[in-house]
Structure 1
Amino acid sequence: MIRTIIIDDEKHCSDRVLKLISDHAPNLKVIAVCNNVEEAVDVTKTLDPELIFLDIEIHDKTGFDYLEKLGSYNFHLIFTTAFDNYAIKAFKYSAMDYLLKPIDSDDFIQAIDKLTKRLNALDQELQIKLLLNNLNKENQNKTIRIPTSEGFELITIEDIIHCQADSSYTHIFTTNSKLLVSKPIKYFDDLLKDDNFFRIHNSHMVNISHVKKYTKGKGGFVTMSNNNTVDVSARKKEEFLKLFK
């Protein structure tokens, strides 16, 4: 049984999680339900849970306040939130699981399925620290967690030069390495498009900060800071060039 704590200041929300656990997750044992940060910190330290469902806004504090006060994270964590805002992007950067309220049963089941396949608690602790670190940084200094065949790598966003599609995989070119990742380029387009990245071609996405030169043509092509050349599709040319006006 997975020892579980629910942290939420709204009773109907914690009741919803309890019902979902009862209906779909018999391997979870709820050992406490907390409705404020101070209580949650004390209970977590005392009961040593393996899984926590954590609300984002808890009275006048946040789930991030709870994590900062706690300091160590020997448990798995699933955020619950009613707000699809800046925090969602931070969750994606750190590959952190979250559920949007009102929590859909299918989303809940999927999150629990992922939980059973997840790496050890040390990996989860690193994810939480990465999340908190990103929340306190400007966009250009943020770090994303990239899954690899051997585990994962942490890459500073500003160090990514460009991404190239390869079927359902993506080649990521950085200032000091090249990675092959088992995610489609659309995954990285969705993740990075608001952070100075632009999809210049169906198969290519570039970091605007690393563009050195544009060469004219039907679509033309760009030369990146690593001297790689990347084609610009005719369809994307006008939109791309507007970024430099």
Structure 2
Amino acid sequence: MIRTLIIDDEQHCIDRIEKLINDYGDNLKIVGACSTVDEALKKTNSLNPDLVFLDIEIHDKTGFDYLEQLGEFDFNLIFTTAFNNYAIKAFKYSAMDYLLKPIDSDDFSEAIKRLNKRISATDTEVQIKLLLNNLKKENHKKTIRIPTTDGFEIIEISDIIHCQAETSYTHIFTKNNKFLVSKGIRFYEDLLKDANFFRIHNSHLVNIDHIKKYTKGKGGYVTMSDNSNVDVSTRKKEDFLKLFK
């Protein structure tokens, strides 16, 4: 049984999550609901939930205020939000789960399925600390969590040189390492598009800051900081060259 706490400053949002939990089955049990950060801190310490649904905007405070004041995290966490693209980008960098309001029942079910597959609350603690860290940083200094065969590695986004697609997998090349991850390149294109990355080819996503040279041709190719050559597709060539005008 997953003991669940809901933190939201709108009663209709609390009611929606309660209904979704009740419809989901016996796996989730609501132990409390609160509408302020101060109340949430008290209930978290007294109720020891296994799972917290956390709103972003809570009156004059935020869900991040709650996390920073709490300090230690021995529960799983799912954010709920109606907006704030910046925060959503940070969620993706740190692999945190979130639900957009109004919460769809299918999205809710998928979030609970992902919850059941997570390693532990200790893994969530690492994710939360990474999230809070990313929210305080400029884009080029942000970090991203890369899954590995024995866990995960946290790397600076600025260290990523380029990404290469291989069917539904992606090779990520960094200054000091190479990773193969089980997500498609489209996922990383969306994740990194605001961090000065550009999809120059159907199979290649490059960090503009790591381009050393462009060589003309039908599409041409770029030479990266690791001396690798990456083709530019003819379809992407014009948009790519506009970046340097």
TM-score (norm 1): 0.98
Partner of 1:37: 37
3-state SS in 2 of match to 1:176: coil
Shift of 1:25: 3.6
Partner of 1:75: 75
The CA distance in 1 between the partners of 2:155 and 2:25, in whole Å, is 34
Partner of 1:96: 96
Would you identify which runs of 4 or more consecutive aligned residues in structure 1 move more than 6 Å? Answer: none
After superposition, where does 1:162-201 map in structure 2 within 5 Å?
162-201=162-201
The CA distance in 2 between the partners of 1:165 and 1:79, in whole Å, is 30
Partner of 1:227: 227
Q: Describe the superposition over 1:61-117 as per-residue Cα deviations: whole angstroms up to 9, x where unpaired.
A: 000000011001110000011115211101110111101111000000111111111
Q: Describe the superposition over 1:162-194 as per-residue Cα deviations: whole angstroms up to 9, x where unpaired.
A: 001111111100010011111111110011011
After superposition, where does 1:199-210 map in structure 2 within 5 Å?
199-210=199-210
After superposition, where does 1:1-245 map in structure 2 within 5 Å?
1-245=1-245
Q: AA paired with 1:131?
A: L
The CA distance in 1 between the partners of 2:109 and 2:183, in whole Å, is 22
Q: AA paired with 2:29?
A: K
Q: AA paired with 1:186?
A: R
3-state SS in 2 of match to 1:38: helix
Task: Check the 8 A contact 1:25/1:112 in 2, yes or no.
Answer: no
Task: Check the 8 A contact 1:164/1:204 in 2, yes or no.
Answer: yes
The CA distance in 1 between the partners of 2:129 and 2:26, in whole Å, is 29
Q: AA paired with 1:140?
A: H
Q: AA paired with 2:127?
A: Q
The CA distance in 2 between the partners of 1:13 and 1:242, in whole Å, is 45
Structure 2 unpaired stretches of 5+: none
The CA distance in 2 between the partners of 1:150 and 1:70, in whole Å, is 29
3-state SS in 2 of match to 1:193: helix
Q: Describe the superposition over 1:205-230 as per-residue Cα deviations: whole angstroms up to 9, x where unpaired.
A: 10000000001100010000000010
3-state SS in 2 of match to 1:119: coil
Range with bigger deviation, 57-66 or 17-26:
17-26
Q: AA paired with 2:2?
A: I
3-state SS in 2 of match to 1:183: coil
TM-score (norm 2): 0.98
Q: AA paired with 1:38?
A: D
Identity of aligned residues (%): 72
Shift of 1:153: 1.4
3-state SS in 1 of match to 2:165: strand
Task: Check the 8 A contact 1:148/1:182 in 2, yes or no.
Answer: no
Shift of 1:234: 0.8
The CA distance in 2 between the partners of 1:146 and 1:234, in whole Å, is 31
Shift of 1:48: 1.1
Structure 1 unpaired stretches of 5+: none
Q: AA paired with 1:141?
A: K
Give the length in aligned residue pairs: 245
What is the RMSD of the two structures over their aligned residues, measured on CA atoms? 0.8
3-state SS in 1 of match to 2:83: coil
